Structure 1
Amino acid sequence: MIAACSQRLVHSVAFVILLLSGLTLSCGPGPRLISQRKHKKTSPFVLKQHVPNVSEYTLGASGQPDGPIKRGDPRFQDLVENHDSNVIFRDEERDGSDRIMSKRCKDKLEALAIKVMNQWPGSPPETPPVKVRVKEAWDDNLLHGETSLHYEGRAVDVATSDRDRSKLGTLARLAVEAGFDWVEYESHGHIHCSVQSDSSAAIKNGGCFNGESTVRLSDGKTRTMAEIQVGDHVMSMRSDGVIEYSEIIAFMDRDDNGYGLFYTLHTETGESITLTAKHLVYIVNQNMSLTIDRMDAVFAESVEEGQFLLIGERDSIRLSQVTAVTVETRRGIYAPLTKHGTIVVDDIVASCYAFIDNIVIAHAAFAPMRAYHDISQFLPSYTWSVDNNDTSVATPTGMHWYANVLYTVGRTLFSKDTLYVH
């Protein structure tokens, strides 16, 4: 039995490696483009246009300011320096401040740099590709508006290395595609881009439920996300659409004290589910007879009023129409993984996965974790304790290492339309 499970683990790992490696195209030496999908036409911004079409400081954009960060502030240690060779920094102050920014801002700026070089590749080596040029990033001199996100390293003002102002409208569109949370064609000289705070759990963890969300156990009891443990059997949905209880084999993420930006989807029959923006939930677009081929797994942030959620009952599934979507910050970050890859939360069927809006790929990517869980059932178990009287095992917290690896790979492979490789 152990040998069979080991073979299954090897096959699962090999499948995921082939699956991920198949998403890129290799070619000969020198600069090249690795394309995952056809390049989309961009619609340039016009002066003063911003996306999303809300205030920069709203939850749906970059969120409220946390306050200026000075060099002596403990929060300054959380900022990073950007030394990406694909980005040009003006560094007008001659103190390196234009390289200082939040981790999220750095990530999005580097994604934008790739997109800019793909948009205007030039003809190396005679004509080098156009690069993104940072005119302003972190500002500790308080030269911007009273609540500017530049003071927190959460904003950058960018242009192109060739100083061609006719490219600014397209540059703004590329910044949106790169994942900046708010982008404005602010002036004739630059584009203003900003991001949410790194402290937002919705950014760090991607797909989670709130601690107050409830699940149904196989013994008929109801527990909150904060109460369930690995080994519990919770209501879920099989791949063929049948309601069944599935074992929790791990927590991909768990943080009792973490805060995140959560979307709550409300239905006409009183149910509601609360989850982060990039968490997958099942919907049906029309209230007709329910079949597997009519179900779609979509990000919570993309669910619209009028669509239908799947309501999981003891032995059946019914539909209930979405009547409202609300957004708020809540405490508690929980991402349980069941063997089925689905879970019924607050009576609504959801996926255990996030970020990749393809259930088949997501479920396959976690096959090694399921295989390891099966193997571990036949291995000796050990109990660790801090003293002779304590034999308890603390509930793991933080992001699971395997989920973190997949999240990192996923951001690299799936968050960009194309990758520019030297």
Structure 2
Amino acid sequence: MYSKTNIFYIILIGVIILFNIDSAPSYYGSYHDDHHHQHYDRDHGAYSYSPHGTAQCFSGDSLIKLSNGVYKEIGNLQSGDEIITIDQSKIISTEMIMMLDKEISKEALFYTLRTDSGNEISLTEYHLIPIINPNGNENYLFAKQIKIGDYLLVLFNEKLNYSPVINITIEMKKGYYAPLTMKGTLLINNVLASCFANINNHHLAQYYMAPFRYYYQFGRFISLYDPFNINKTEGLYWTVNIMLYLARYFRLDALCL
């Protein structure tokens, strides 16, 4: 009943947003070029583009805390699950919408960040994660940009804390998932992370995902509890693939592929 024809409207709205460049938000931290939006390599002190596409996800062994206090493996998340996240220094709940990308059996290279609080999070290299910069503000960086001593936001003993990264390992892991939530963020093993990868601006990505949020809310309104069929879909979700294809032509400056 609700086939790909209905999801066509996601693409339509997405294209409208894509061309509405002047109204798109522009938030850039100290590690991004305000003019070119390029990737800043803190190892070499230079801006560069990555020529290859990468996975866009968290590792399959990640745990997600639901608003009822129960932990769920990331691969078992369902559309409509109420999960915990952090918004403006407050612990809140947000709804799981869909999986932007999902691979159960494939392997990927992950950056595993361990904090002084004992929390760990594994992300692919171009997945965004916020740190607290010296001014006390959030600044979203790619996982590969994180350095020892950078402060991550963690949930520790049911309270929000800032904890420094004390160890970084790069390892292959099997299975990866990219959940999309209403807020665009979520807690992975009680560490705050963005839902987005391969784009150099978290806020811009959240803006472009508006069609998915609208379609999800409409589906829930008419009692369609899994409008994106997340249990049947594996790989990069097809509408996301189309949006990335369009972005390569019209907003390449915002991508890191």
TM-score calculated relative to the size of structure 2 = 0.76
For the 8 Å contact 1:356–1:414, the answer to whether it is kept is: no
Distance in 2 (CA, whole Å) between partners of 1:412 and 1:301 is 25
Q: What is the aligned partner in structure 2 of residue 283 from structure 1?
A: 131
The reply to whether residue 347 of structure 1 matches residue 190 of structure 2 is yes
- Which amino acid in structure 2 is aligned with residue 310 of structure 1? L
The reply to whether residue 407 of structure 1 matches residue 244 of structure 2 is yes
Shift of 1:346: 0.7
Identify which of structures 1 and 2 has the higher relative contact order when contacts are C-alpha pairs closer than 8 Å and 6+ apart.
2
Q: What RMSD in Å do the two structures reach over aligned CA positions?
A: 3.5
Give the direction of change, closer, same or farther, for the CA distance of 1:255–1:20 in structure 2 (3 Å limit): farther
For the 8 Å contact 2:14–2:243, the answer to whether it is kept is: no
Q: What is the aligned partner in structure 2 of residue 242 from structure 1?
A: 90
Shift of 1:328: 1.0
The reply to whether residue 266 of structure 1 matches residue 121 of structure 2 is no
For the 8 Å contact 1:312–1:348, the answer to whether it is kept is: yes
1:298 to 138, 141, 148: 141
Give the direction of change, closer, same or farther, for the CA distance of 1:16–1:296 in structure 2 (3 Å limit): same
Q: Which has the larger radius of gyration?
A: 1
Give the direction of change, closer, same or farther, for the CA distance of 1:13–1:406 in structure 2 (3 Å limit): closer
For the 8 Å contact 2:54–2:126, the answer to whether it is kept is: no
Distance in 2 (CA, whole Å) between partners of 1:37 and 1:400 is 30
Which is richer in strand? 2
Q: What is the aligned partner in structure 2 of residue 14 from structure 1?
A: 16
Distance in 2 (CA, whole Å) between partners of 1:416 and 1:262 is 25
For the 8 Å contact 1:242–1:315, the answer to whether it is kept is: no
For the 8 Å contact 1:237–1:340, the answer to whether it is kept is: no
Q: What is the CA deviation profile of residues 156-186 of structure 1, one whole-angstrom value per residue up to 9, with x for unaligned ones?
A: xxxxxxxxxxxxxxxxx9xx94535xxxxxx
- Which amino acid in structure 1 is aligned with residue 195 of structure 2? C
The reply to whether residue 223 of structure 1 matches residue 72 of structure 2 is yes
Distance in 1 (CA, whole Å) between partners of 2:114 and 2:107 is 21
Q: What is the aligned partner in structure 1 of residue 102 from structure 2?
A: 254
The reply to whether residue 356 of structure 1 matches residue 199 of structure 2 is yes
For the 8 Å contact 2:149–2:165, the answer to whether it is kept is: yes
Distance in 2 (CA, whole Å) between partners of 1:396 and 1:20 is 34
Distance in 2 (CA, whole Å) between partners of 1:371 and 1:37 is 31
Shift of 1:21: 10
Percent identity of the aligned residues? 28
Give the 5 Å matches for 1:119-134: none
Unaligned runs of 5+ in 1: 1-8, 23-35, 41-51, 54-172, 181-194, 196-202, 384-391, 418-422
Distance in 2 (CA, whole Å) between partners of 1:216 and 1:362 is 23
Give the direction of change, closer, same or farther, for the CA distance of 1:382–1:328 in structure 2 (3 Å limit): closer
Q: What is the aligned partner in structure 2 of residue 114 from structure 1?
A: none
TM-score calculated relative to the size of structure 1 = 0.48
Decide which moves more: 216-225 or 307-316.
307-316
